Amino acid sequence: MEDVLSQASDLEKMGVKEVILVAQDVTSYGKDIYGSYQLVTLLKKLSQFNFDWIRLMYCYPELVSDELIEEISTNPKIAKYVDIPLQHVDDGVLKLMNRRSRKEQIVSIVNKLRAKCPDIAIRTTFMVGFPSETKEQFNNLCSFAKEYKLDHVGVFAYSKEEDTPSAKIKGHLDEETKLERVDILGEILEENNLKANEKFVGKIVKVLYEDIDYERNMFVGRTQYNAPEIDSVVYFSGEFADVGEFYNVKITAVDGYDLIGEIVE
């Protein structure tokens, strides 16, 4: 932990506005060194630095504890955003994937997060076409996507790799079926995203200015609900803006996955 805090101190001196904690499973932080999970302790210590956003990436669902949810919801330094790699929600597929979580637990975590922090953005990824995935199991995933409408979702087709446990499972699906399922789920997710974006129209959000789009002649930034490079952005206009600074932006329109707005006082 001392190494992480030392790096955080250096970043603070550089004027860094956002720190991202990332690991294959960031929720397991500390278990190997200290014998117990220490992510919440680390978050409390990092919150003492002059960062605006502390972002969590790759929190395995079985370790998203009530203590962690409480810290995310009450700590103003923590971005109201969490990446939980679910992969699937059908219990049979999850078991074959050797995932420890099950649908009931996943639903419980999503409900708890939204109850404690109604504006939280939840990101995940889904894999379709896993060996022996039935149409019913795929439909279970689609039903979940329609009902719970997670904020940012990546979807990809299973790819067979030699010498992996899944390669030995019987019932591999053909490429056409896998790609068809990607398209079906993708349409659901696209509709979810459009409806979610429309809720921002007319609202004022805090945006970190990061780039400029010369073709649009607009500034480009992110809200706390968007991670860099993988999520949508906010295109906004204004008389002047400094890269790396925050601006209050009134959202005026939706452009696909992205938002359009203008700086307001």
Three-class secondary structure of residue 143 per DSSP: helix
What is the reported pLDDT for 71? 98
Q: What is the DSSP letter of 170?
A: S
* Calculated CA dihedral for residues 203, 204, 208, 213, nearest 10 degrees: 60
What is the reported pLDDT for 160? 92
Task: Note the pLDDT tens digit of each residue in 68-102.
Answer: 999 999 999 999 999 999 999 999 999 999 999 99
What is the reported pLDDT for 265? 81
Beta bridge partners of 234: 221, 259
Whole-Å CA distances, 155 to 158, 212, 247: 10, 28, 32
Q: Extract the residue ranges of the chain whose pLDDT is less than 70.
A: none
42 contacts: CB under 8 Å, gap ≥ 6: 1, 4, 21, 29, 30
What is the reported pLDDT for 32? 95
What is the reported pLDDT for 14? 96
**Contact call for residues 112 and 75 (beta carbons, < 8 A):** no
Give the chain's mean pLDDT: 96
Task: Note the pLDDT tens digit of each residue in 222-254.
Answer: 999 999 999 999 999 999 999 999 999 999 999
Question: Distance between CA 49 and CA 192 in Å, rounded?
Answer: 36
What is the reported pLDDT for 124? 97
**Contact call for residues 195 and 228 (beta carbons, < 8 A):** no
What is the reported pLDDT for 131? 97
Q: What is the pTM (predicted TM-score) of this model?
A: 0.93
Question: Distance between CA 227 and CA 220 in Å, rounded?
Answer: 13
Question: Distance between CA 46 and CA 79 in Å, rounded?
Answer: 13
47 contacts: CB under 8 Å, gap ≥ 6: 54, 75, 77, 78
Label the pairing between strands 218-222 and 204-213.
antiparallel
**Tokens at residue 177, please?**
């079926």
